[in-house]
Structure 1
Amino acid sequence: MEYVWIDNIIDGLIDIYGTNNIYDLYDYLDISIKKLPMSNVLLHGNEAFYNRNFFDTEVVFIRENLTVEYEQFILAHELGHAILHTNMITSAFNINLLNLDKMERQANYFALKLVNLNIDEIIFEGFTIEQIAKSFNLPVKCLKLLLG
């Protein structure tokens, strides 16, 4: 799966802002983070929800009590939606026009590359992808994007 264009966007972000720290990037891009209990209706049982309203105010609602590593990944994933899928708000009115699976794969790839996940082949030799994902506290399907 070739996502060179996403790699270029990430390189540009890091060049412009001088960091890949997810919290700093949210500050620079003026995207709010609001932590919510898992039972909050806005989350619909998901870990997070990105919203851009008609006034271009952006906020990510994220489940509270996530591990730091997983929270950073989820925030990077939602930032991927904010940057890669800028037409989501207009397209969301006609769900048939969206390829949600493709958008999720792109956002996962963006997140993995932004957090600069480094999988040392020597350390993880003989591990299954499930074991590696668990050690990084990430979903297996996300890690499969990076490892092919």
Structure 2
Amino acid sequence: MYLWIDNILEGLKDTYNTNNVYELYDYLEIQMIKLEPANILLRCNEYFYYRNYFGNEIVLVRNDLNLEYEKFILAHELGHALLHTETCEAAFNKNLINTGKLEKQSNYFALKLLNLDIDPVAFKGFNIEQIASSLYLPTNCFENITDKI
């Protein structure tokens, strides 16, 4: 189902010889800017992606996030930047696009980019919330994609 995303990830790793999200942002010239949580540009969110902010592609991120969570957020937003080039402009009108599908695709992209293996032995008896919490990930990142990881 997500073979096309796997192909994009493989192309990224082959082209840039890294899966480090910070290095990929540099190579792809996407700016990451950390802001105070109350900054108006964040629109009361933890992060916000702008495809064209005064001619720049940027991701704004709160400066108080856990590093592992920040990496996931950056990888997730990189997924949107690379996978959903036509739909990001329409994202402000949620009636025009299937945002749930796009979010699942970006979550899958992020989990695969970061090589987040969920060891079934280590997490035996854990529920999704406990696994997400121990990996510093949002609970919804596993929604409908755990069978594809």
TM-score by length of 2: 0.89
Q: Which runs of 5+ in 2 are unaligned?
A: none
Asked if the contact 1:80/1:110 (under 8 Å) is kept, the reply is: yes
The structure-2 alpha-carbon separation of the partners of 1:144 and 1:100, relative to structure 1 and needing over 3 Å to count, comes to closer
Matches within 5 A, 1:1-148: 2-53=1-52, 56-92=55-91, 94-148=93-147
The structure-2 alpha-carbon separation of the partners of 1:116 and 1:145, relative to structure 1 and needing over 3 Å to count, comes to farther
Q: CA deviation at 1:95?
A: 4.2
Cα-Cα RMSD = 1.8
TM-score by length of 1: 0.90
Instruction: State how far apart, in whole Å, the 2-side matches of 1:69 and 1:60 are.
Output: 16
Asked if the contact 1:47/1:74 (under 8 Å) is kept, the reply is: no
The structure-2 alpha-carbon separation of the partners of 1:122 and 1:29, relative to structure 1 and needing over 3 Å to count, comes to same
Instruction: State how far apart, in whole Å, the 1-side matches of 2:53 and 2:41 are.
Output: 18
Instruction: State how far apart, in whole Å, the 1-side matches of 2:49 and 2:69 are.
Output: 16
Asked if the contact 2:90/2:97 (under 8 Å) is kept, the reply is: yes
Asked if the contact 1:53/1:89 (under 8 Å) is kept, the reply is: no
Report the identity percentage.
Answer: 57
Instruction: State how far apart, in whole Å, the 1-side matches of 2:70 and 2:123 are.
Output: 23
Q: Which runs of 5+ in 1 are unaligned?
A: none
The structure-2 alpha-carbon separation of the partners of 1:128 and 1:55, relative to structure 1 and needing over 3 Å to count, comes to same
Length, aligned pairs only: 147
